[in-house]
Amino acid sequence: MKNITILGSTGSIGVSTLDVVSRHTDKYCVKALTAHSNVDLMYEQCVTHQPEQAVMVDADAAARLEKQLRDVAPDISVSSGEAELVSVSERNDVDYVMAAIVGAAGLLPTLAAARSGKRVLLANKEALVMSGKLFMDTVKENDAELLPIDSEHNAVFQCMPHPYAEGFQHRGVKQILLTASGGPFRQTPIEKLVDITPEQACNHPNWDMGRKISVDSATMMNKGLEVIEACWLFHTQPESIQVVIHPQSVIHSLVEYNDGSVLAQLGNPDMRTPIAYGLSWPERIDSGVQSLDLFDVARLDFERPDEQQFPCLRLAKSAMLAGGTSSAIMNAANEIAVDEFLNNGLPFTAIAQVIESTLEQLSSHVADSLDVILEDDLLARQTAKEMVRRLAA
């Protein structure tokens, strides 16, 4: 029996994780669930899965949850605050931590899980984007296991020869082919992107995701973040990663070998597949995902990404190549810009403008400590907010 903490249980990854776990109650036990403020869903999850601990980041939400659980599940401990996220990630009785908190907010608890030697199921790409070397060193120094849950990185993990820690080129690999759906606007003329609304940007053609990630997919920043994540996970550089737009989202990524072989992982676009693989690796368990019907798919299309139409992809690659805290600065500026867009305060095309301007204004520093990373993250947020104010004036 493996004990699990789920960070971000009310998000789409958290919900899917609980679905997989519920199919294998003989193998997995939920010890702790965390969320920001979604009391109603957290209440349902607590009643169904009976964790020992529930954490709400928002104190008022925690108070409401505790009151609702008092009569039906009084043994569940309810607490609040960001420090509690770290605490449940470090629990001695927890084996696996699903890191599914979106954005920079997931960095500290995910690092805590790695520091505690857990199996970290990484669905929070920002942890590596912000603190790549620091995070990977923490994993190695504490004998933690790091398994990627993003569908693309999980696909690469399945197709990559192991071990590859010294660089996959030594194992006969030529390059990684990272697939991207292209989002909802891959065929939208550039001049019309300025009029895109939050509702349109969040209407992803293939995946059911949260609003922030949906916007990142629409700008292709999500793929840029994934390029950075792949560099750290698989010990390589952006020039060894080719982004391929694949609208059907059936091939989740590919690995090309020196002998001309290309291995691909295929499946229906359902996050329960990589979640189940992360939970059970190196074995496999039922995920609840329907079998892929190739006759129904019928065709597989591929396109080159247009970095003029999707400048966020270019900005992410440049940040990775620049090194230091550049990726953390870029990520922070993106989070501010996306939030402003979702609240109707910024045009869709201005998201990339805010990111590029922030990168130009700030100097990168050596990312050798968490304090340095968090300082530049904060400065980038302040700079991006000022840029937003100027654009709105």
Reduced to 3 states (helix: H, G, I; strand: E, B; else coil), residue 13 is helix
Grade residue 216 by pLDDT with cuts at 50, 70 and 90: very high
393: three-class secondary structure by DSSP: coil
In single-letter form, the type of residue at position 302 comes to F
Bridge partners of 253, per DSSP, are 265
* Confidence (pTM): 0.92
Q: Which of 251, 297, 290, 255 is nearest to 272 (CA)?
A: 290
For the chain, which domains are there?
Answer: 2-149 (3.40.50.720), 156-297 (no CATH), 323-392 (1.10.1740.10)
Average pLDDT, the chain: 94
**pLDDT tens-digit readout, 246-291:** 999 999 999 999 999 999 999 999 999 999 999 999 999 999 999 9
Task: Assign 207 a pLDDT band (cuts: 50, 70, 90).
Answer: low
φ, ψ for residue 97, nearest 5 deg: -125, 120
How far apart (Å, rounded) are the C-alpha atoms in residues 214 and 212?
A: 5
52 has pLDDT over 70: yes
DSSP label of 69: H
Is it the case that residue 370 has pLDDT exceeding 80? Answer: yes
- Phi-psi category of 164—alpha, beta or left, where left has phi over 0 and alpha has psi -120 to 50? alpha
> Which tens digit of pLDDT belongs to each residue from 114-138?
999 999 999 988 899 999 999 999 9
